[in-house]
């Protein structure tokens, strides 16, 4: 259910920017998702296909750019990516680490078409 | 037909976050300290709230907003039985409270008679984490029988919280729960989190938690003056 409200939010933002750009159709949507943002892109896609029917975004393709969780060690300064399980600093073993990336969840850009213009 | 790339760069949670900021202002103006309690089902959210009420009321005026996916009033009835105003928000099957839902709940609370507003979020370790409500402190409750691997499996919820309550400490002798492993997982995600180990069954650790709350409520009152 969580993904439904998120997908509606994506549609609202895309529509707003499409209207502003005088688009007749939105063909592609680029979304950035951090590994810590707990969004399941399959579910977003599922809702997307349903809720975009008969909107300017109908049949637009969703592209997800996944960003790994990035941590910086407060003790030795090492910055590292976490792919799987959370782990302390791989260099010095400290758990005094700070999350510096991986919480991204934004709409980066949309690709649009305009009617009446020739390529 | 031409194709064109339009840069957007807008947070997908922006609409929610803006309402959350409005909610925060309403609370600040009223001098009310609000906490958002998140946890999995069965961790003891309602029991912790009841223990908190027992410890602080009537000296501290409390109101509770209950988020529930189903229109059952089991939790809010328990709160009301202690003479505390409770507002039930039915999320209509949704897995979390969001800022607009909380805003509608706020409308039903007489904030001029409240020092502490407790929000009991929907029992879920995933979705509530994504939706800021405008509360002053996010609190997660874990419980010993849930297992020590939760921070590793549901990392998002431990980000942006101020307090981590570990409940059901009385079950420690019966359950394999590696406290160090659990705490390490939380601390990797969030260095500044404050831990309270409690048992709603025995009352162990509850005064430390409610003393922390009392201090924060006092600070909030002073800020509003």
- Measured between alpha carbons, how far is B148 from B176 in angstroms, rounded to an integer? 8
How far B185 CA lies from chain A's nearest CA (Å)?
7
Q: What is the CATH number of domain B14-224?
A: 3.40.50.300
> Per-residue pLDDT for A119 more than 60?
no
We find that the CATH architecture of domain A2-68+101-113 is 2-Layer Sandwich (3.30)
CB-hemisphere CA count at 13 Å for B189? 28
Quote the tokens at residue B99. Answer: 């800022």
**A-chain residues near B191 (CB < 8 A):** 74, 96-98
Q: Residue B83 burial (CB < 10 Å; 0-12/13-18/19+)?
A: exposed
Residue A113 to residue B11, Cβ atoms within 8 A: no
| Length in residues, chain A | 119
- Which run of H or of E encompasses A80? strand A79-82
pLDDT-based confidence at residue A37 (cuts at 50, 70, 90): confident
Higher pLDDT, A116 or B211: B211
Cβ(A96)–Cβ(B191) below 8 Å: yes
Average pLDDT value for chain A: 91
> Per-residue pLDDT for B141 more than 90?
yes
Residue B155 to residue A5, Cβ atoms within 8 A: no
Residue A27 to residue B2, Cβ atoms within 8 A: no
What is the average pLDDT across A62-88? 91
**A-chain residues near B126 (CB < 8 A):** 2, 38
What is the model's pLDDT at position B87?
94
> Per-residue pLDDT for B108 more than 90?
yes
Q: Shortest CA distance to B213 belongs to which of B225, B198, B76, B77? A: B198
- Measured between alpha carbons, how far is A21 from A43 in angstroms, rounded to an integer? 28
- Measured between alpha carbons, how far is A64 from A48 in angstroms, rounded to an integer? 13
Cβ(A81)–Cβ(A70) below 8 Å: yes
For chain B, the structural domain boundaries read 14-224
ipTM of the complex: 0.82
Residue B156 to residue A12, Cβ atoms within 8 A: no
- Measured between alpha carbons, how far is A42 from A47 in angstroms, rounded to an integer? 9
How far B70 CA lies from chain A's nearest CA (Å)?
14
What is the average pLDDT across B53-80? 92
């Amino acid at each position: 259910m969580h993904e439904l409200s998120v997908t509606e939010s994506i549609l609202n933002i895309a529509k707003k920017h499409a209207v502003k750009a005088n688009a007749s159709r939105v063909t592609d949507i680029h979304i950035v998702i951090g590994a810590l943002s707990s969004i399941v892109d399959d579910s977003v896609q599922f809702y997307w296909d349903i809720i975009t029917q008969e909107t300017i975004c109908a049949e637009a393709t969703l592209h997800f750019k996944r960003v790994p969780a990035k941590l910086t060690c407060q003790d030795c300064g090492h910055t590292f990516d976490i792919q799987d399980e959370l782990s302390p600093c791989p260099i010095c073993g400290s758990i005094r680490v700070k999350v510096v990336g991986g919480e991204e969840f934004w709409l980066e850009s949309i690709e649009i078409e305009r009617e009446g213009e020739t390529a | 037909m031409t194709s064109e790339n339009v840069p957007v760069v807008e947070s997908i949670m922006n609409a929610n976050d803006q309402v959350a900021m409005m909610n925060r202002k309403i609370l600040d103006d009223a001098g009310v300290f609000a906490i958002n309690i998140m946890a999995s089902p069965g961790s003891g959210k309602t029991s912790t709230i009841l223990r908190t009420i027992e410890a602080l009321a009537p000296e501290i005026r409390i109101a509770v907003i209950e988020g529930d996916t189903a229109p059952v009033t089991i939790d809010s009835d328990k709160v009301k039985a202690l003479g505390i105003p409770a507002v039930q928000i039915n999320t209509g099957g949704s897995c979390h409270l969001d800022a607009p839902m909380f805003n509608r709940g706020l409308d039903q609370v007489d904030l001029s008679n409240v020092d502490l507003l407790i929000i009991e979020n929907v029992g879920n370790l995933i979705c509530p984490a994504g939706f800021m409500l405008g509360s002053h402190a996010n609190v997660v409750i874990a419980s010993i029988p849930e297992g020590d691997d939760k921070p590793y499996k549901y990392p998002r919820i431990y980000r942006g919280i101020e307090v981590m309550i570990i409940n059901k400490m009385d079950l420690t002798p019966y359950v394999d729960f590696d406290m160090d492993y659990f705490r390490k997982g939380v601390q990797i995600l969030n260095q500044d989190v404050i831990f309270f180990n409690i048992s709603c069954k025995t009352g162990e650790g509850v005064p430390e938690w409610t003393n922390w709350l009392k201090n924060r409520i006092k600070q909030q009152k002073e800020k509003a003056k």
